[in-house]
């Protein structure tokens, strides 16, 4: 009777389990990590799960020199959309402590301003984030939060980002590179570099501006990236996309346990393709001349 529709046939499951699927996008990596898209998860189940564990989530950003101008919008929009209903610690790394606005936060949410040095070269400003994240993971984050979400500051939240993203180690598909052929990924191609990835390797191209995981995993990731950058520096090499290149190298041999779709890191300069049902975290347009000099 049930010869074709066996016990595990999809029609035997509850509608809410079956509806958590998308047929237009890749939903799982070949190593069985979920790729998080709108319509692929049940947020009520996940909220209950993480609430029960009473998790605290750390959100880290760097606002060095003129990038302090981005902090207000970043935090305001995070208050509205980031992990609402869960415990959140914002960690703002800056060299200009007095430029960071004092903001009123919802209950269960706190902000810590961490004073750090400002490197002269912008490439170093970007890359040294790895070293500082490593050091603070060990010294401070370990005792304060369960997960870290590490992002660029020139961004605003414009839709929900919740516990569906949490996993031991996660990366995000780069909005400009999803759908590109592997050989066109802008990995570092110099074999002398610690970030080198050959043309016939690599799964996805991950964005430098959005990764996370538990503290232990973020410690390992940032430690690897920083050490690789220092080894290259000794050889007078710098990878093509700085920290992003080293991050991609790390993820090649340490597969993320979850991958976030570009919903989680979008730039409206790319338009809004059909598969993109939500833009949860988008780049704030910036006047490069004014802000970077
Ligand atoms: C200054 C001049 C030029 C470039 C960056 C900066 C700068 C960056 C700065 O003066 N102050 C500062 O705090 N930053 C921090 O570095 C800030 O958190 C910013 O979001 C982050 C990355 O710089 P950003 O956002 O200007 O560069 P994007 O959006 O092109 O970043 C992508 O590529 C980078 C590597 O080149 C990183 O991998 C980054 O994560 C990517 O999103
Ligand atoms: Mn950015």
Structure confidence by residue, pLDDT tens digits, 231-255: 999 999 999 999 999 999 999 999 9
Q: How confident is the model at residue 15 (pLDDT cuts 50, 70, 90)?
A: confident
The verdict on whether 183 is a catalytic residue reads no
The pLDDT value given to residue 47:
98
- The residue from 164, 188, 194, 244 that is catalytic is 244
**pLDDT at 134 (0 to 100):** 98
pLDDT surpassing 80 at residue 18: no
Q: What angle do CA 73, 113, 226 make, to 5 degrees?
A: 100
pLDDT of residue 2: 54
Residue 173 in contact with residue 273, Cβ under 8 Å?
A: no
CB 280 within 8 A of CB 157: yes
Atom of ligand 1 nearest to the CA of 155: 20
Neighbours of ion ligand 2 (CB under 5 A): 152, 154
Nearest protein Cα to ligand 1, atom 12:
64
- pLDDT recorded at residue 282: 98
For residues 279 and 242, give the distance between their C-alpha atoms in angstroms, rounded to a whole number: 26
User: What are the tens digits of pLDDT across the range 73-128?
Assistant: 999 999 999 999 999 999 999 999 999 999 999 999 999 999 999 999 999 999 99
| Cα dist from 2 to 10, 11, 17, 18, 182, whole Å | 13, 12, 21, 19, 43
């Amino acid at each position: 009777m049930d010869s074709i529709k066996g016990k595990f046939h999809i029609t035997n499951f509850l509608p809410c389990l079956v509806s958590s699927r998308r047929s237009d996008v890749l939903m799982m990596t070949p190593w069985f990590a979920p790729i998080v898209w709108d319509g692929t998860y049940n947020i009520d189940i996940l909220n209950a799960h993480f609430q029960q564990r009473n998790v605290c989530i750390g959100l880290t950003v760097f606002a060095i020199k003129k990038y302090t101008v981005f902090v207000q919008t970043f935090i305001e929009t995070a208050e509205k959309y980031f992990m609402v209903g869960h415990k959140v610690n914002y960690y703002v790394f800056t060299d200009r402590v007095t430029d960071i606005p004092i903001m009123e936060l919802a209950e269960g949410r706190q902000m810590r301003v961490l004073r750090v040095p400002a490197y002269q070269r912008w490439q170093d400003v970007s890359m040294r984030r790895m070293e500082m994240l490593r050091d603070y993971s060990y010294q401070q984050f370990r005792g304060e939060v369960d997960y870290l979400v590490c992002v660029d500051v020139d961004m605003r939240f414009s839709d929900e980002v919740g516990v569906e993203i949490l996993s031991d180690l996660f990366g995000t598909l780069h909005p400009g590179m999803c759908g590109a052929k592997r050989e066109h990924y802008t990995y570092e191609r110099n074999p002398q570099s610690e970030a080198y990835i050959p043309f016939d390797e690599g799964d996805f191209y991950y964005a430098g501006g959005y990764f996370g995981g538990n503290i232990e995993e973020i410690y390992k990731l940032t430690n690897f990236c920083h050490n690789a950058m220092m080894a290259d520096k000794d050889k007078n090499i710098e990878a093509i996309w700085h920290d992003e290149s080293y991050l991609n190298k790390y993820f090649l041999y340490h597969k993320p346990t979850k991958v976030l779709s570009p919903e989680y890191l979008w730039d409206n300069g790319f338009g809004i393709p059909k598969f993109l049902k939500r833009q949860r975290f988008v780049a704030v347009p910036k006047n490069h001349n004014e802000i970077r000099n």
